[in-house]
Amino acid sequence: MPELPEVETTVRGLATVLDGQVIRSVRVNRADLRRPFPVDLAQALTGARVTGLSRRAKYGLIHTDRERTMVFHLGMSGRWRIDPEDIGKHDHLVLETGEGRVLSLNDARRFGSVDLVDSDKLESWPPFAALGPEPLGPDLTPKLLAGAFKDRIAAVKLLLLDQRIVAGLGNIYVCEALYRARVHPAREGGRVKPAELKLLVPAIKAVLEESIVAGGSTLRDYARPDGELGYFAKDFNVYGREGEPCACGGTVERIVQGGRSSFFCPKCQK
């Protein structure tokens, strides 16, 4: 579920309820996801004021006035719920604001994470230090990809999923971006031509931006009770469409790369 656009949409939705607010209470129902929660999580957040929210790659950041930032990752199944009607067994962390709004971090598969990081050390926090540039920022250029792909025999699909090269892409949007750029997902990285990289970079930015806009358009739903952040319906050109027709008349195929499904049109993508 959560790739960059979903995390971005989640952060924006959380901000409407959290930004500037004091966290009145913190309830930890299960203190570990991928790794244990910080032992002092509740103590550190209770009474803190949220000074802003942001995103880095697929991580959401909740900044506080205590020089510490709560960093969350949604893994495969994580989502934030706003004012949920009930708290279930997968609602692992529940925050209440000074205004009485309730925010619940729900993650059935528990691949997500919650960390507290000193706000002035975010850049050097190990998970962040290893990340490549933001795909929507100025640093993702055809030249950057050319450098990262040079002499690599790994499939371009897998290289684009490598967060050290570009930070924030996931399975869905890599499939969609490669489709738009007409590049076959199994092509060796080092064999993607400069002209194709010039198509691929704007394709990546476009699929992400369009999805953020689509997510934003559903944001108003999140203001309702039981709104769930992190999920919005989109229609994809190839993702999840094995066997369905491509606009070109071809048929979408599925292959497995790195243990994960890749969808593509063999007629469009070479």
Partner DNA sequence: CCCCGGACCTGGCGGC
Partner DNA sequence: TGCCGCCAGGTCCGGG
On whether 55 is known to bind a ligand per the annotation, the reply is no
Q: Which stretch binds DNA (CB under 7 A): 42-50, 64-72, 134-142, 157-165?
A: 157-165
Q: Tell me which of 27, 110, 260, 267 is the catalytic residue.
A: 260
R_g of the chain computed on alpha carbons: 20
Number of neighbours of residue 103 by Cβ within 10 angstroms: 22
Catalytic-residue membership of 224 = no
DSSP 8-state symbol, 38:
P
CA distance 204 to 217: 20
CA distance 7 to 108: 17
Tokens for 174, please give them: 């890599």
Tell me if 81 sits within 8 A of 226, measured CB to CB: yes
On whether 182 is known to bind a ligand per the annotation, the reply is no
- Sole residue written with tokens 């071809």: 250
Q: Indicate whether 116 belongs to the interface with DNA (CB under 7 A).
A: no
Of the pair 21, 218, the CB lying nearest DNA is at 218
Positions 64 through 93 that interact with DNA (CB under 7 A): 73, 75-77, 89-90
Positions 242 through 261 that interact with DNA (CB under 7 A): 258-261
E strand spans, 74-166: 78-82, 91-97, 102-107, 113-118
Terminal alpha carbon distance of the chain: 28
Q: Which stretch binds DNA (CB under 7 A): 110-118, 136-144, 198-206, 243-251?
A: 110-118
CA distance 236 to 190: 27
Of the pair 6, 196, the CB lying nearest DNA is at 6
Q: Indicate whether 270 belongs to the interface with DNA (CB under 7 A).
A: no
CA 68 to chain centre: 22
Binding mask 16-35 toward DNA (x if CB under 7 A, else -) reads ------------------x-
On whether 90 is known to bind a ligand per the annotation, the reply is yes
Question: To the nearest whole angstrom, how small is the minimum distance from the Cβ of residue 89 to DNA?
Answer: 6
Q: Tell me which of 12, 55, 56, 58 is the catalytic residue.
A: 58
CA distance 75 to 84: 20
Of the pair 58, 68, the CB lying nearest DNA is at 58
Q: Indicate whether 228 belongs to the interface with DNA (CB under 7 A).
A: no
Binding site for DNA (CB under 7 A): 1-3, 6, 34, 57-58, 73, 75-77, 89-90, 108-111, 113, 127, 152-155, 158-159, 161, 163, 170-172, 189, 231, 234, 258-261
User: Residues at the annotated binding site for DNA?
Assistant: 90, 109, 152
